[in-house]
Structure 1
Amino acid sequence: MPQLDKVTFFSQFLWLSIFYVGFYLVILKHFLPKLSRILKVRQKKVSHSQEGSTALLQEKEKVGGSLNMLIEQGVGTSKRLFQENLEKTQAWLDRVVKDTNQTTLRSANESYIASLGETSVSQNLVVDLTFLPISGKGLAALLTEKIKAGDTSSSVNK
């Protein structure tokens, strides 16, 4: 039995047309309005989403800029405070060292300077005496004279 029989062709075409027109009307009146509403809602959501994302990006840039500014201010303030504390500490240390050297350690400093002087004098004597052509007894006499002269000069300085 062929599908498009000449005898039944018109009735098959009629039912096919009725079916397609009915199907088209059902889709047109029932499904397409629902789909168009869904598409409109999606489009609104997408546009709000894009606006929201651009707003979020702008807000993120503002927050990032203010955060960088706050960090720069904080680093500058901490650097300034550190420098001030360092200067105050250095001034205090200089003052304490000066006061300590003038009061508590004065006698120790004087004796240290005197010992340095005696050491340098004795080293200069040894260096000077190595080049002198003097006998053993003459050398001993010369040393005793220089030591006595050094003792008197150190007692005069005190």
Structure 2
Amino acid sequence: MPQLDQFTYFTQFLWLCVFYLSFYVLLCNDGLPKISRILKLRKQFKTQKLSSDLAKYDADPVFADVVIKECLNTSIVYLCSSVSGASKWCDGMINSLNANQLQSMNQNYVRSMGEMSVSQVIKRKALENNTPSLVFRSDRFARFQKLQQPKIYVLREQRRLLESGQRRKKNQNA
């Protein structure tokens, strides 16, 4: 392999050193002084600007208060606008989800709530019809009065069905 040959290796090393030293000399002679000049000027401009700004604020304390109030007002307006934008986005997303993906689930939920309320009404009516109702009458003697006797509709219907079934059997046998 030619890279491992001593003569080729020596020439490669020599050229590497030449390029490295030339880069180092150019950087030290030209690059670093320019960079240091730029940094010094930047530092001077920064201190001058800070001193002029501080002098402005020190000369007029009302100006500083006005600036602070304006900053706070703009931040409050930005916060309110971002919150309102986020709430509008959330409302839009909820409406689109309800309209598209969750519509069947919402219908099933409303249907089950309706069934539960209907079953509760039926139970209440059945209990009202089968239990005695007591009402407080406000007269001189303030007494409880029993309004109606318990009515058992199921037994009456069963009796009527049995009687009609027996009549049919008699009619069929005769």
* Shorter-chain TM-score range: 0.3 to 0.5
Rg (Cα) greater in structure:
1
Greater relative CO (CA pairs within 8 A, separation 6+)? 1
TM-score, normalising length from structure 2? 0.43
